[in-house]
Amino acid sequence: MLKCLPNFGGYFYLSYFCSVLFNYYTMIDVKNITFGYNKYCNVLQDFSLQFKKGGVYGLLGKNGTGKSTLLYLMMGLLRPKQGEVRIDGVLASNRLPEVMSDMFIVPEEYDLPRISLMEYVKSLKPFYPKFSDELLTRCLEGFDMTPDINLGSLSMGQKKKVYMCIALATNTDYLLMDEPTNGLDILSKSQFRKVVIGSMAEDKTIIISTHQVHDVEHMLDHVCIINQNSVLLNTPLVEDNGPIDLEKLFIETLTNNKVEE
**Pairing status of strand 174-178 against strand 103-106:** parallel
Of the candidate CATH numbers 3.40.50.10190, 3.30.365.10, 3.40.50.300, 3.30.360.10, the domain formed by 29-260 belongs to 3.40.50.300
CB atoms < 10 A from the CB of 129, how many?
12
pLDDT at 259: 58
Tell me whether residue 172 is exposed, middle or buried, using C-beta atoms within 10 angstroms of its C-beta: 0 to 12, 13 to 18, 19 or more: buried
Q: Are 164 and 181 in contact (CB under 8 A)?
A: no
The pLDDT mean for the chain works out to 88
CB atoms < 10 A from the CB of 219, how many?
17
Tell me whether residue 261 is exposed, middle or buried, using C-beta atoms within 10 angstroms of its C-beta: 0 to 12, 13 to 18, 19 or more: exposed
pLDDT at 220: 93
C-alpha pair distances (Å), 133 with each of 157, 168, 248:
22, 11, 40
pLDDT at 20: 40
pLDDT at 227: 86
C-alpha pair distances (Å), 172 with each of 90, 102, 105, 109, 121:
16, 4, 10, 21, 15
Q: How confident is the model at residue 260 (pLDDT cuts 50, 70, 90)?
A: low
Q: How confident is the model at residue 99 (pLDDT cuts 50, 70, 90)?
A: very high
Q: Are 208 and 58 in contact (CB under 8 A)?
A: yes
Q: Mean pLDDT over residues 6-22, rounded?
A: 44
pLDDT at 26: 64
**Pairing status of strand 55-60 against strand 222-227:** parallel
Residue 8 has pLDDT above 50, yes or no: no
pLDDT digits (tens, 9 = 90+) for 104-140: 999 998 889 999 999 999 999 999 999 999 999 999 9
Name residues whose C-beta falls within 8 Å of residue 157's C-beta, 6 or more positions apart in sequence. 183, 184, 185, 188
pLDDT digits (tens, 9 = 90+) for 38-67: 988 999 999 999 999 999 999 999 998 999
pLDDT at 10: 52
Residue 74 has pLDDT above 90, yes or no: yes
Q: Describe the crossing of helices 156-169 and 186-199 by its angle, rounded to 10 degrees.
A: 10
pLDDT at 19: 42
Residue 80 has pLDDT above 50, yes or no: yes
pLDDT at 21: 42
The span from the CA of 215 to the CA of 188, in Å, is: 10
DSSP state of 226: E
The span from the CA of 233 to the CA of 203, in Å, is: 23
